[in-house]
């Protein structure tokens, strides 16, 4: 494998462990989420340094709406604050912000901040930061199937013409390559409804570190571990 191929083009992270981090320190869960902002900055710095072109962060799942209303409200407020505060630095770093997921459930305020961040960072050349917000893979696939069904009903496509590419093009992630490496912090080893279609040939890494303690060195360790893997994509080498 060439040196360039040993660097993942697309890294996706399930940022797990904020609540446990807070509980271990006798803090409110909100404080764990707030402490999770710095690891995002660290991951962006490390990704840019390695030449990673796409970084996807699982920030808020469709299932997260089931959490206590107070926690959800604090997450929304933290998100808005972070988008406003971080956008100037993202522009400076050449980071383009994009979102996957169903944004329609968010308040007008959150949707406004999201749109502004995407608009203001458009054209960033260093890397694309993809925020998975109100996202779940099953929901994404369901929405894609409905879209394709509407096309079939309208006579735009015959059922026999539907292919993997047809489905892939209907997903939120259509503009981006599939992830090469998926990282989940906190030692948990499951995808939790994240990028199920796109993860077909991804490599996985499950560090024990809780997300608020995740550093550039941890990101480096993930990339270094990826470089040691022998990716065959179902073929024999």
State the catalytic residue, choosing from 3, 64, 180, 230: 64
Whether residue 189 is predicted with pLDDT greater than 50 in this model: the reply is yes
Please report which confidence band the pLDDT of residue 1 belongs to, taking 50, 70 and 90 as the band edges. very low
> What pLDDT is stored for residue 233 in this prediction?
61
pLDDT tens for 34-66 read 999 999 999 999 999 999 999 999 999 999 999
Q: How confident is the model at residue 113 (pLDDT cuts 50, 70, 90)?
A: very high
Instruction: Say if residue 15's pLDDT is above 80.
Output: yes
| pLDDT for residue 187 is more than 70 | yes
pLDDT over threshold 50, residue 164: yes
Whether residue 2 is predicted with pLDDT greater than 90 in this model: the reply is: no
- Quickly list DSSP for 114-154: HHHHHHHHTT--SEEEEEEEEE-HHHHHHHHHHHHHHHHHT
Query: Does the annotation count 16 as an active-site position?
Result: yes
Does the active-site annotation cover 230? no
Orientation angle between helical segments 216-228 and 37-50, nearest 10 degrees: 50
Contact 3, 223 (CB under 8 A): no
Q: Per the structure, how many domains does the chain have? A: 1
pLDDT of residue 133: 95
Residue among 16, 172, 180, 218 flagged as catalytic: 16
201 occurs within a structural domain: yes
Bridge partners of 13, per DSSP, are: 57, 183
Residue 222 maps to a domain? yes
In a domain, 172, yes or no: no
Tell me if 114 is assigned to some domain.
Answer: yes
The pLDDT value recorded for residue 230 is 81
**Does some domain include residue 158?**
no
> Looking at residue 200, which CATH number applies to its domain?
3.40.1180.10
How confident is the model at residue 147, as a pLDDT? 98
What CA–CA distance (Å, rounded) separates 113 from 115?
5
Nearest to 61 by CA among 183, 151, 181, 192: 192
Does residue 154 belong to any structural domain of this protein? no
Nearest-5° angle of CA 236, CA 224, CA 194? 75
Range of weakest confidence among 9-13, 83-87, 205-209? 83-87
pLDDT in tens, 190-223: 999 999 999 999 999 999 999 999 999 999 999 9
State which residues form the domain around 108: 4-136+178-227
Helix %, strand %, coil % of the chain (to 5):
50, 15, 35
Residue 212 lies in a domain: yes
Whether the CB-CB separation of 72 and 104 falls below 8 Å is answered with no
142, part of any domain: no
């Amino acid at each position: 494998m060439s040196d360039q191929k040993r660097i993942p083009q697309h890294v996706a992270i399930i940022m797990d462990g904020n609540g446990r981090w807070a509980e271990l320190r006798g803090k409110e869960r909100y404080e764990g989420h707030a402490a999770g902002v710095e690891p995002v900055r660290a991951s962006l710095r490390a990704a840019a340094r390695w030449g990673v072109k796409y970084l996807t962060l699982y920030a808020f799942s469709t299932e997260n709406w089931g959490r206590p209303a107070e926690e959800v409200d604090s997450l929304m407020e933290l998100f808005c604050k972070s988008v406003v505060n971080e956008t100037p630095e993202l522009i400076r770093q050449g980071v383009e912000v994009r979102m996957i997921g169903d944004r329609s459930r968010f308040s007008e305020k959150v949707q406004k901040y999201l749109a502004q961040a995407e608009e203001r960072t458009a054209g960033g050349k260093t890397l694309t930061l993809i925020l998975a917000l109100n996202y779940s893979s099953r929901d994404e696939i369901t929405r894609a199937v409905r879209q394709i069904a509407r096309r079939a009903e309208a006579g735009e496509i015959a059922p026999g013409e539907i292919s993997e590419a047809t489905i892939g093009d209907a997903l939120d992630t259509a503009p981006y390559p599939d992830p090469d490496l998926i990282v989940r912090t906190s030692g948990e080893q499951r995808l939790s409804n994240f990028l199920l279609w796109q993860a077909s040939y991804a490599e996985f890494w499950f560090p024990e570190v809780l997300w608020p303690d995740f550093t550039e060195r941890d990101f480096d360790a993930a990339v270094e571990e990826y470089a040691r893997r022998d990716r065959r994509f179902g073929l024999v080498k």
